[in-house]
Chains A and B, each alone.
Chain A
């Protein structure tokens, strides 16, 4: 199932009004759905109760990310979670207990092969294990005839990721990678309506993204919950500390650029409609004493543009401070900028003084929303004059679902044949390839050239 050359731009980038409404719920009156038409003021309500045959789904990995996905899985009406697997007894029992308490009992397994050998009525699996297990589990599940939703990164190695695309193509099964922003209605709207249709940025000239995370203690584990050394060794871990903190280790994870940066660098690639031609980077173990992977990194990509110019995109990941607005992706142009984030409070629009676009007209057409800003208090007024009402513009899209829910729903809809995957394996491979190259740039300190051919699986 090789994706056509132009599918990269299409994947996740275009969405029909029907699909858009299907993934969006409105909180409050006057919010935009579908956008840019008179009917956009209509208040959309929750989708009708699902009445078709439910898909049988299993969850591989019940750690932190597995639990995030689980919360969406338990409220999506069109699927039935039938089994879970986790090598850690503590995680497994906790999830079983939690699901039993909401009357959604599941079978639980300590080993993925055991689950696949016993569960013969599965339609799809969700893979949320540590990165180094993604490829072997995904490949086994695809070969078992199952559709797979696998968390990003696809793998901690390029070879592992490539093998997943190859298996996807050989089996003809669907492989969705968990770059969930590609199904986020706000992101889809910003790309299609604001950047493409309304051209509010004008000519895009640069991009910037950051993820700033505070210092955290190593993950621990409750007393008396340790796995045996034999079990840990069987699944590739030296000890419980390594099992709980696998992201710190080069053989198990992919660095903060993979853990956090992958989401945002993927947004660079998606929004800019292509891949960078080179990368330079710097990073190191600046703070932690027991991390193999660097804890801070700064990356610059060069994106060739259709008009022959170059757009530079700066990316920063810090795991030593939560300063600087948490996490966001910003696209800057000569007429304006769009700042995106999964956290709506971090999103912002800015118009350059030189732009002659009438943003009030765009607001009237529901591309953007004009929001009044409260006037300054009397104490803050510097000199008396007639006040000009203050306002700002915002992205008129809200969705009242869990962050990962639309992406999972897109996967399940694709299985039913009612949607196209927003992030299929081959598209994700290309996007993640340049993340691996950024890691390589940090490790080697060299500028790395990236060719289009090498980004194809």
Chain B
């Protein structure tokens, strides 16, 4: 965790969830900002200990041990994250799924049910090998945003691995947090405020995103960007948009007016399309 010399905005970094998190805080005294950031990173570490499939004591690892018909009581964050994952799967017609890789090992997608009355999960079919890699980091940012509110720290920008951003109120005197799509000369920059933007693509990890509907690597496009109110949603939506056709994306965002998806032409990189009714943020 390091602080930047810019007196107006304090920047802190932390490694977690196999990536780099960054918290930028504006309009606060430096010591207070550092204490908030330290608390935020502890929260992220705690969430990772619950949500990581690589930690054997995590709830996600425990869920993977459930036999068909068995259920397990969950902590609140895990239940909430899985609940949102389920909603995103339904909202995207199955294009987003935390069991996307299941078809590699299992003949059909595993089935599971959340039991709100008991705050539990029940295994209905197969082995519940969940991978929250396309939603967990966004979920963590949303939880940090709640913490920022509790600490009366409204002006912040939260970043998870460069792929998900959650902007709070802008720095004092500014219209929004200057964030861009893409890189270099091709980027489009916007001033974000109280909204989230996530990206998915093949640049960092190749064609690692699988289409949950057939278990095959996504080849529809190279990059997507999604803008929503919450980072959990934008994280999952940008992943789903990697496997959906443009017509399917248009259908998804039509049913969810707070969602916006950006696509870029594969051959003509200047051919940007924005799908959805969400108002565009101001251009930077």
B61, chain A: closest CB distance, angstroms: 5
Q: Which residues of B contact A308 (CB under 8 A)?
A: none
Chain A residue with Cβ nearest B28: A223
Q: When chains A and B are docked, how far (Å) is the Cα of A71 from the Cα of B51?
A: 14
Is A28's CB under 8 angstroms from B64's CB?
yes
Beyond A25-B62, A45-B67, whether A101 also contacts B151 by CB under 8 A is no
Q: When chains A and B are docked, how far (Å) is the Cα of A305 from the Cα of B31?
A: 51
Q: When chains A and B are docked, how far (Å) is the Cα of A427 from the Cα of B39?
A: 35
Q: Which of B74-82, B164-172, B271-279 contacts A (4 or more CB under 8 A)?
A: B74-82
Q: Which residues of A contact B58 (CB under 8 A)?
A: 400
B residues 49-74 in Cβ contact with A at 8 Å: 56-58, 61-62, 64-67, 70-74
Q: Which of A26, A71, A94, A216 contacts B65 (CB 8 A)?
A: A26
Q: Which residues of A contact B62 (CB under 8 A)?
A: 25, 27, 46, 400-401
B115, chain A: closest CB distance, angstroms: 11
Is A27's CB under 8 angstroms from B61's CB?
yes
Beyond A103-B117, A224-B152, whether A74 also contacts B73 by CB under 8 A is yes
Beyond A27-B64, A46-B70, whether A217 also contacts B57 by CB under 8 A is no
Q: When chains A and B are docked, how far (Å) is the Cα of A401 from the Cα of B34?
A: 32
Q: Which residues of A contact B65 (CB under 8 A)?
A: 25-28, 43, 45-46, 400
Q: Which residues of B contact A28 (CB under 8 A)?
A: 64-65
Best-buried of A98, A344, A399, A400 by chain B (most CB within 10 Å): A400
Is A74's CB under 8 angstroms from B75's CB?
yes
Q: Which residues of A contact B75 (CB under 8 A)?
A: 71, 74-75, 102
Contact bitstring A19-58, B, C-beta under 8 A = 1, else 0: 0000001111000000000000001011001000000000
Q: Which residues of B contact A218 (CB under 8 A)?
A: 35
A residues 96-122 in Cβ contact with B at 8 Å: 98, 101-104
Q: When chains A and B are docked, how far (Å) is the Cα of A218 from the Cα of B31?
A: 9
Q: Does A398 contact B (CB under 8 A)?
A: yes
Chain B residue with Cβ nearest A47: B70
* Chain B residues touching A, range: 20 to 34
B36, chain A: closest CB distance, angstroms: 7
Q: Which residues of A contact B71 (CB under 8 A)?
A: 49
A173, chain B: closest CB distance, angstroms: 28
Q: Does B38 contact A (CB under 8 A)?
A: yes
A400, chain B: closest CB distance, angstroms: 4
Is A400's CB under 8 angstroms from B56's CB?
yes
Q: Which of A49, A103, A399 contacts B56 (CB 8 A)?
A: A399
Q: When chains A and B are docked, how far (Å) is the Cα of A104 from the Cα of B116?
A: 12
Chain A residue with Cβ nearest B34: A217
Q: Does B119 contact A (CB under 8 A)?
A: yes
Q: When chains A and B are docked, how far (Å) is the Cα of A442 from the Cα of B179?
A: 52
Is B76's CB under 8 angstroms from A400's CB?
no
Chain A residue with Cβ nearest B32: A220
Q: Does A219 contact B (CB under 8 A)?
A: yes
B244, chain A: closest CB distance, angstroms: 32
Q: Which of A25, A77, A220, A398 contacts B35 (CB 8 A)?
A: A220
Q: Which of B67, B70, B79, B151 contacts A223 (CB 8 A)?
A: B151
B196, chain A: closest CB distance, angstroms: 22
B204, chain A: closest CB distance, angstroms: 20
Is A400's CB under 8 angstroms from B61's CB?
yes
Q: Does A403 contact B (CB under 8 A)?
A: yes
Q: Which of A26, A74, A222 contacts B150 (CB 8 A)?
A: A222
Contact bitstring B97-121, A, C-beta under 8 A = 1, else 0: 0000000000000000000010100
Beyond A27-B64, A102-B76, A401-B62, whether A217 also contacts B56 by CB under 8 A is no
A-B contact pairs, 11 of them (CB 8 A): A26-B65, A27-B65, A28-B65, A77-B73, A102-B75, A218-B35, A219-B38, A222-B152, A400-B57, A400-B61, A401-B62
Residues of B at the A interface (CB closer than 8 Å) are: 31-32, 34-36, 38-39, 42, 56-58, 61-62, 64-67, 70-76, 79, 117, 119, 150-152
Give the 6 A-B CB pairs with smallest separation, nearest first: A220-B35, A400-B62, A222-B151, A223-B152, A75-B73, A400-B61
